[in-house]
Amino acid sequence: MFSLTPDAAEPRLHVARRTLERLRTVPGLAARYTGHAEPHRLDDLAALPPLAKDDLNTALAHLEPKAENGATWLFQSGGSTGAPKIGYAPTGFYMAGVHAHWQPLDPDDVFVNAWGAGRMWGAHFLAAALADLSGCQIIAVGSVAADEYPDWLSFFAARRVTAIGGTPSVLRLWFARARAAGITLPDLRKVLWLGEAWQPQLAEDMAAVAPRARRHGMFGSTETWVVGTNGPECPADTFHTLPEQLVHVGPDDLLDFTTLNPEMLNPVLRYRTGDAGRLVACPCGRPGPAMQVLGRRDSVVQVRGLGLHVEQVVARAEREPGVTQAQVLVTEQGGRASSVEVLLLTAPDAEVDTERLRKEILSATFTLSTAFQHDPQCFRVRTVDALISNGRTGKTSDLVVREDS
Ligand SMILES: [Zn+2]
């Protein structure tokens, strides 16, 4: 299934044919395209082999694309460990195409850009480009230190800030700190987000700090850039895809993305981000198929030879009253899991019975009860002051794997 009809997509497939031509010049990838016809129809496209993250990095290392106009920006792309892998984008970050279909900001807005800037991260600059097209005021804050929140929040209140944007993890910090400090943002109406799944617990803090605020989400990656957007009337996991992004649902509900934007520098041709999803009718009533994201298919981690579905463990922990966010930490020694821990971020004053939760998760999770049959004490549940975030990407993922040397 494709997000666009043949009538809408096929006149734009010349972009996919050009991408294929570029990929055929990459020594490590050329062979896999042997015998494949140029895509003139959607069926031809669905027959092409998909690209994984590493394939795209291989291609980019060879192609080194360059923007037609202005600068070519290098951003972190893919990989959660080691040296940054690199994606490319021209100034503007393709946001004109996004803005043509989605205008969460208007000229009267005072917008706090709270996505971290620097370290080759893309989201801050992408959001700045959207604000530029919207003609609003921008307050470019980026990331701040723990003790700086109250002063910045007071400044936001005084400036009558109407919009803020960041990853859900970062937004959680802003709203939780505001709530803790008793600061309200009565003028805040728009919360833009991108980079992680929406966190339902955010709604509670938003209601206390900024009762008029509503969420406006983007879905994308540094490889594909923005694929789709949503608004307050859409479920947080459902996005309306852009006409220059062709989304395909493959086996096992795996999504792959093909750019139909002739300016795209990354050779995005049936590129798999690891996200699963399906095409649905959005309850907001906007016609046409919308993309519902069902989570990541690569969130299964091997623990002592068995697959652990990290999302299920995190979801169970987050259903526990008082738990605001959970994370699975796998510690490995010589490639073998020596322990699995569920780290819990809890609400202030919450009392969570971690031992009861531990026993419940252990007995309910076949992988854990089997893998830790002889050393159940190596599966732990504990509360922490902060979850582990990736210093390189700035994201807080459900799963962290550490090598204990
Ligand atoms: Zn919708």
The rounded Å distance from CA 32 to ligand 1 centre is: 37
The rounded Å distance from CA 279 to ligand 1 centre is: 12
The rounded Å distance from CA 315 to ligand 1 centre is: 24
Question: Sign of the CA dihedral 32, 36, 40, 45?
Answer: negative
18 forms beta bridges with none
The rounded Å distance from CA 286 to ligand 1 centre is: 6
The rounded Å distance from CA 287 to ligand 1 centre is: 9
The rounded Å distance from CA 233 to ligand 1 centre is: 6
The rounded Å distance from CA 359 to ligand 1 centre is: 40
Q: How confident is the model at residue 83, as a pLDDT?
A: 67
The rounded Å distance from CA 369 to ligand 1 centre is: 41
The rounded Å distance from CA 3 to ligand 1 centre is: 14
The rounded Å distance from CA 85 to ligand 1 centre is: 33
84 three-class SS: coil
Q: How confident is the model at residue 344, as a pLDDT?
A: 96
The rounded Å distance from CA 291 to ligand 1 centre is: 9
The rounded Å distance from CA 316 to ligand 1 centre is: 28
The rounded Å distance from CA 300 to ligand 1 centre is: 29
Cβ contacts of 360 within 8 Å, gap of 6 or more: 316
The rounded Å distance from CA 281 to ligand 1 centre is: 8
Structure token digits, residue 125: 């600059």
Side-chain half-sphere CA neighbours of 88 within 13 A: 22
CA-to-CA distance for 13 and 51, rounded, in angstroms? 17
The rounded Å distance from CA 289 to ligand 1 centre is: 9
Q: How confident is the model at residue 270, as a pLDDT?
A: 97
Question: Sign of the CA dihedral 228, 230, 234, 240?
Answer: negative
Give pLDDT tens digits along the chain (405 positions): 999 999 999 999 999 999 999 999 999 999 999 999 999 999 999 999 999 888 998 999 999 999 999 999 999 876 544 567 889 999 999 999 999 999 999 999 999 999 999 888 899 999 999 999 999 999 999 999 989 999 999 999 999 999 999 999 899 999 999 999 999 999 999 999 998 889 888 999 999 999 999 999 999 998 999 999 999 999 999 999 999 999 999 988 999 999 999 999 999 999 998 899 999 999 999 999 999 998 777 677 888 878 888 988 998 999 999 998 999 999 988 878 899 999 999 988 889 999 999 999 999 898 899 899 999 999 999 999 999 987 666 678 888 888 886
Q: How confident is the model at residue 389, as a pLDDT?
A: 84
The rounded Å distance from CA 290 to ligand 1 centre is: 7
The rounded Å distance from CA 230 to ligand 1 centre is: 6
CA-to-CA distance for 80 and 370, rounded, in angstroms? 28
The rounded Å distance from CA 236 to ligand 1 centre is: 9
pTM of the model: 0.81
The rounded Å distance from CA 245 to ligand 1 centre is: 17
* Cα→Cα distances 112→101, 102, 157, Å: 22, 18, 11
Work out the widest C-alpha separation in the chain, in whole angstroms. Answer: 64
Q: How confident is the model at residue 252, as a pLDDT?
A: 82
At residue 207, φ and ψ (nearest 5 deg) are -60, -35
Question: Is-contact 383 346, C-beta < 8 A?
Answer: yes
The rounded Å distance from CA 190 to ligand 1 centre is: 16
The rounded Å distance from CA 235 to ligand 1 centre is: 7
Q: How confident is the model at residue 61, as a pLDDT?
A: 93
Q: How confident is the model at residue 54, as a pLDDT?
A: 81
* Cα→Cα distances 382→351, 356, 366, 377, 379, Å: 12, 11, 20, 12, 10
The rounded Å distance from CA 105 to ligand 1 centre is: 17
The rounded Å distance from CA 215 to ligand 1 centre is: 12
The rounded Å distance from CA 377 to ligand 1 centre is: 46
